């Protein structure tokens, strides 16, 4: 199985600040830049990266405001996203290379190619939207409603249904029989992944997605000299019909219909392999955050870390939590099955020794002589950390929200009685604070096992 690694790179800003970009990487050989659609993140390309890694060093960044990448300031437009992509290429050390993008990822790439044609040797695009004025007006009114966390988790009910029904209707809010899509599904895993990606993006999704929707769709004129571009779309893709709207294109541009997503990917791969290739490089990485590969008898995978790797101090979070952000004077980690780290290959261990071996391996890697373990609550593990697996109706999202809210009022959170009341800081129960705890609890698939292990040591 191809190893997909994860990294951060810092992109210098005009004001002297830095914008952090998260990216995935797989394979060897010449680089291929891969830009995801909105409001997704680079994780959507993991299966494709595993296949294409035999031909390229696949590099897939999270676009600004999505996944784990910082958003752009202000109210950015599509040109800002295109320029930000080229700035990320500069930070990574990429020379001109081929690139692939699907839907809105393709719009960012085409805009970047028009503004910086010398940075690309060609593009393969999956679907390219050419909206009519009427469609643009419709999207502008309804497609991007505000998305902010609410005190009692009301936003989660809306989000689950919005993501579920976007495979039933296009656009998702047009619930008419005439707007039905042929590929309707209730794939819980797919919907849950999309929901989690939206939770990561938060309100920033409107900036990134809005810039794409408002972007002008001016294809270069037929006499323009540009790198080659292939635009293809498969049966069932709502944007396949938009191929007829492209009009006359430059000589080295072409559009093709195909039958299936696999056909689209095969067309794109063959096209990308025929382009001039970029120089083989080792992409740059941030110095104070990243992912490290750890191997123990029970665990093999990537561990997310942040902070000062030379501090000699390793901070370990509690069950159902994740690493401390903005750590100073120490290095913090996400344990397996928590935060952004990989999970255990099988069931998470409930005895302490395997967890200790992971911690020891990380401490050894960074030369940390001091390890700070967390204090943990007392209670029934099954009640403290119930099963939050995704279900067809999204109730796991609301359950997790109620847990993180209640634990600020009672200890343990499930013992709602006057005798269990605890003092709390009103700031900590604001929806914005709860949203971060909620994401951490949803990610913590090994929380109960970790709790049982740490109290049993």
Predicted local distance difference test score (pLDDT) of residue 211: 92
Burial (0-12, 13-18, 19+ Cβ within 10 Å), 429: middle
- Average pLDDT of the chain, as a whole number: 94
Whether the predicted pLDDT of 166 surpasses 70 = yes
pLDDT band at 138 (very low <50, low <70, confident <90, very high): confident
Lowest-confidence region among 34-43, 138-147, 295-304, 352-361: 138-147
Closest among 6, 73, 80, 67 to 38, alpha carbons compared:
67
36 vs 183, higher pLDDT: 36
Instruction: Read off the tokens for 334.
Output: 């996400």
Whether the predicted pLDDT of 268 surpasses 70 = yes
The model's pLDDT over 108-128, given as tens digits with 9 standing for 90+, comes to 999 999 999 999 999 999 999
Domains of the chain: which residue ranges?
Answer: 5-132+210-273, 148-202, 289-455
Rounded mean pLDDT, 67-80? 95
Predicted local distance difference test score (pLDDT) of residue 135: 83
141 vs 246, higher pLDDT: 246
Select from 3.40.50.1820, 3.30.300.10, 3.20.20.60, 3.20.20.140 the CATH code of 289-455: 3.40.50.1820
Class of domain 5-132+210-273: alpha beta
Whether the predicted pLDDT of 246 surpasses 90 = yes
Instruction: Read off the tokens for 291.
Output: 């992912």
Strand order in the sheet with 5-12: 5-12, 18-27, 57-61, 31-35, 97-102, 120-126, 229-234, 253-258
pLDDT band at 331 (very low <50, low <70, confident <90, very high): very high
218 vs 225, higher pLDDT: 225
In the chain, the N- to C-terminal Cα span, in Å, equals 35
Same CATH topology for 5-132+210-273 and 289-455?
A: yes
Predicted local distance difference test score (pLDDT) of residue 1: 64
């Amino acid at each position: 199985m191809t190893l997909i690694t994860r990294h951060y790179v810092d992109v210098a800003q005009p004001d002297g600040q830095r914008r952090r970009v998260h990216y995935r990487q797989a394979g060897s050989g010449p680089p291929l830049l891969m830009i995801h659609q909105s409001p997704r993140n680079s994780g959507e390309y993991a299966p494709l990266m595993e296949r294409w890694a035999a031909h390229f060093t696949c590099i897939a960044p999270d676009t600004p405001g999505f996944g784990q990448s910082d958003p752009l300031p202000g109210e950015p437009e599509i040109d800002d996203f295109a320029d930000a992509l080229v700035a990320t290429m500069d930070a990574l050390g990429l020379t001109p290379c081929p690139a692939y993008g699907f839907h809105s990822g393709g719009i960012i790439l085409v805009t970047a190619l028009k503004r910086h044609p010398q940075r690309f040797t060609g593009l393969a695009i999956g679907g390219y939207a050419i909206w009519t004025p009427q469609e643009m007006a419709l999207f502008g009114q309804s497609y991007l409603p505000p998305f902010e966390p609410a005190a009692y988790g009301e936003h989660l009910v809306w989000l689950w249904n919005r993501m579920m029904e976007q495979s039933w209707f296009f656009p998702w809010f047009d619930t008419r029989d005439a707007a039905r899509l042929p590929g309707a599904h209730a794939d819980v895993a797919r919907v849950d992944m999309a929901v989690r990606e939206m939770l990561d993006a938060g309100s920033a999704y409107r900036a990134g997605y809005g810039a794409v929707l408002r972007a002008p769709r001016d294809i270069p004129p037929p006499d323009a000299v540009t790198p080659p571009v292939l635009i293809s779309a498969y049966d069932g893709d709502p944007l396949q019909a938009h191929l007829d709207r492209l009009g006359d294109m430059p000589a080295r541009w072409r559009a093709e219909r195909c039958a299936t997503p696999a056909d689209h990917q095969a067309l794109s791969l063959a096209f990308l392999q025929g382009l001039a290739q970029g120089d083989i490089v080792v992409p740059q990485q941030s110095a104070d955050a990243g992912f490290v590969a750890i191997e123990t008898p029970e665990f093999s995978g990537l561990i997310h870390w942040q902070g000062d790797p030379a501090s000699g101090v390793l901070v370990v979070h509690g069950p159902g939590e994740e690493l401390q952000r903005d750590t100073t004077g120490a290095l913090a980690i996400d344990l397996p099955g928590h935060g952004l780290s990989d999970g255990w290959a099988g069931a998470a261990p409930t005895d302490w020794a395997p967890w200790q071996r992971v911690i020891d391996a990380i401490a050894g890697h960074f030369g940390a002589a001091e390890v700070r373990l967390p204090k943990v609550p007392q209670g029934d593990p099954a009640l403290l950390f119930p099963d939050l697996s995704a279900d067809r109706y999204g109730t796991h999202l609301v359950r997790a929200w109620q847990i993180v809210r209640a634990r600020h009022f009672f200890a343990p959170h499930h013992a709602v009685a006057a005798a269990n009341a605890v003092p709390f800081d009103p700031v900590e129960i604001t929806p914005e604070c709860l949203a971060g705890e909620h994401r951490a609890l949803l990610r913590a698939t090994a929380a109960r096992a970790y709790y049982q292990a740490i109290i049993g040591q």
